[in-house]
Chains A and B, each alone.
Chain A
């Protein structure tokens, strides 16, 4: 069965610090997608990135970057020069092949960025 583990429950940083959110996943499928979502206090899940299992290229989008390593089943997310607006709960999720859209989420990491 699939599983996503986000070991960091809460992280506190000061503005402009870099921060990495860890995500480790388990799946028996060879074809799957990994996602990161951001949940601000308003509650809506905001899509950040999707990566398929055959694409191990790291990705950078502005201050955000993602490191996908199949060898360690990890899909870590780094925010460079964090800002107060980055404060939110971040979820890593996994979607396996099989024709369904079902997302299996980690428990989330609450990031608090102080000014």
Chain B
């Protein structure tokens, strides 16, 4: 079974631009979560989607948004990029929603904002 895939793997953007990151979950998984990892703040939860509905959202500004499609694939968008948005963005998928399900992580998208 293929794992979680994230595209692109690396991205360089300029301040003020916007970016869209994509995540394809493991086949059959219906829940997708996004995390931001930075050296200073560590791993922080962004949002969780299940059956195309956002179920939970972390403490991030409105510039961060996401969505999930009917095939469970998910995208996250960051508008008006700031230097501080440079990070590794990790996507995780799980079979169902809820804390008892194991989450499997993708390799991440490394975003650099210049």
Given contacts A33-B99, A52-B100, A95-B99, contact A102 B108 (CB under 8 A): no
- A104 within 8 A of partner (CB): yes
**Contact flag A101-B94 (CB < 8 Å), given A44-B108, A95-B99, A107-B42:** yes
Considering the complex, which residues of chain A in the window 18-76 have a beta carbon less than 8 Å from any beta carbon of chain B? 32-33, 37, 42-47, 50, 52
In Å, the complex CA distance between A46 and B58 comes to 22
Specify which of A44, A95, A98, A101 lies most central, judged by the most chain B CB atoms within 10 Å of its CB.
A101
Chain B: interface residue total (CB-CB under 8 A): 28
- Selected contact of A103 from candidates B88, B100, B103, B106, CB within 8 Å: B103
Taken together as a complex, chains A and B put the C-alpha atoms of A105 and B98 apart, in Å, by: 17
In the assembled complex, which residues on chain B have CB atoms less than 8 Å from the CB atom of A50?
A: 102
Instruction: Decide yes or no whether A91 CB sits under 8 A from chain B.
Output: yes
- With A100-B98, A102-B33 known as contacts, the answer to whether A45 contacts B105 (CB < 8 A) is yes
Task: For A95, list chain B residues within 8 Å (CB).
Answer: 99
Inter-chain contacts of A47 with B (CB < 8 A): 102-105
Q: Is the CB of A100 within 8 A of B99?
A: yes
A101 & B108 in contact (Cβ 8 Å cutoff): no
CB of B74 closer than 8 Å to a CB of A: no
* Chain B residues with a Cβ under 8 A of chain A: 31, 33, 35, 42-45, 48, 55-56, 58, 88, 90, 92, 94, 97-108, 110
What are 30 A-to-B residue pairs whose CB atoms are below 8 Å? A33-B100, A37-B105, A43-B88, A43-B107, A43-B108, A44-B105, A44-B106, A46-B105, A47-B102, A47-B104, A52-B100, A93-B43, A96-B99, A97-B99, A98-B99, A99-B55, A99-B97, A99-B99, A101-B31, A101-B48, A101-B92, A101-B99, A101-B101, A102-B58, A103-B92, A104-B45, A105-B44, A106-B42, A108-B42, A108-B43
